[in-house]
């Protein structure tokens, strides 16, 4: 991320807003989404992928 950031300031020179390139803004949103998903699922039971694939094959849900 290049951090090509611009700031909007008030009459006192205090920063009141930020302008980001759209691509950087979208990357920040994606990163935030990943972090929220990780936090929300941190207490879920972890299972080996091989077990899940095996169950899905047996149920006819996948044929890989």
Structure confidence at residue 53 as a pLDDT band (50, 70, 90): very high
Query: Does residue 55 lie within any of the structural domains?
Result: yes
Phi, psi dihedrals of residue 19, rounded to the nearest 5°? -120, 125
Domain that holds residue 41: 21-64
The pairing of strands 15-19 and 6-9 is: antiparallel
Q: Domain tally for the chain?
A: 1
Q: What is the per-residue DSSP string for 12-56?
A: TS-EEEEE--HHHHHHHHHHHHHHHHHHHTTTSPP--HHHHHHHH
Query: At 9, which helix (H) or strand (E)?
Result: strand 6-9
pLDDT at 4: 87
d(CA 21, CA 40): 29
User: Do the domain assignments include residue 16?
Assistant: no
Read off the pLDDT of residues 5-51 as tens digits, 9 standing for 90 and up: 999 999 999 999 999 999 999 999 999 999 999 999 999 999 999 99
């Amino acid at each position: 991320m290049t951090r090509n950031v611009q700031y909007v300031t008030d009459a006192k020179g205090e920063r009141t807003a930020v302008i980001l390139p759209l691509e950087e803004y979208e990357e920040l949103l994606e990163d935030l989404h990943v972090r929220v998903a990780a936090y929300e699922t941190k207490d879920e039971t972890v299972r080996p992928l091989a077990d899940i694939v095996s169950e899905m094959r047996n149920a006819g849900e996948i044929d890989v």
